[in-house]
């Protein structure tokens, strides 16, 4: 049986680290966002990547309203950045907002 503290934790597994997990504290009432490298490594016609800095700037400058809005906004950001370029990688995003 899990303790209440254990129930409030989220464990994230990253395949790049051979299944080693990372424990994240209580995320209730906070957005929890995970994504594949197809987001920050999305390329435009000049093969320039979207990049971590632009992704982080977008997240900092966009007020969180709902998980769906976050995903939609980032999808639009990627499409604008690609500017007609075909996707160079798969793109997976997941945002959870637990109340």
pTM, two decimals, is: 0.75
Per-residue pLDDT reduced to its tens digit, 32-58? 899 999 999 999 999 999 999 999 999
pLDDT band per the 50, 70, 90 thresholds, residue 21: low
pLDDT band per the 50, 70, 90 thresholds, residue 7: very low
Contacts with 83 (C-beta within 8 Å, 6 or more apart), sequence order: 44, 45
Q: What is the pLDDT of residue 18?
A: 52
How many CB atoms are located within 10 Å of the residue 89 CB? Answer: 12
pLDDT band per the 50, 70, 90 thresholds, residue 11: very low
Q: Which two tokens stand for residue 4?
A: 């209440």
């Amino acid at each position: 049986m899990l303790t209440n503290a254990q129930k409030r934790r989220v464990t994230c597994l990253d395949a790049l680290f051979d299944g080693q997990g990372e424990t994240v504290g209580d995320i209730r009432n906070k957005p929890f966002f995970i994504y594949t490298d197809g987001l920050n490594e999305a390329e435009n016609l000049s093969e320039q990547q979207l990049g971590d800095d632009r992704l982080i700037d977008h997240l900092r400058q966009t007020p969180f309203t709902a998980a769906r809005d976050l995903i939609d906004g980032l999808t639009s950001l990627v499409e604008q950045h690609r500017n007609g370029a075909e996707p160079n990688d798969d793109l997976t995003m997941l945002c959870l907002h637990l109340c």
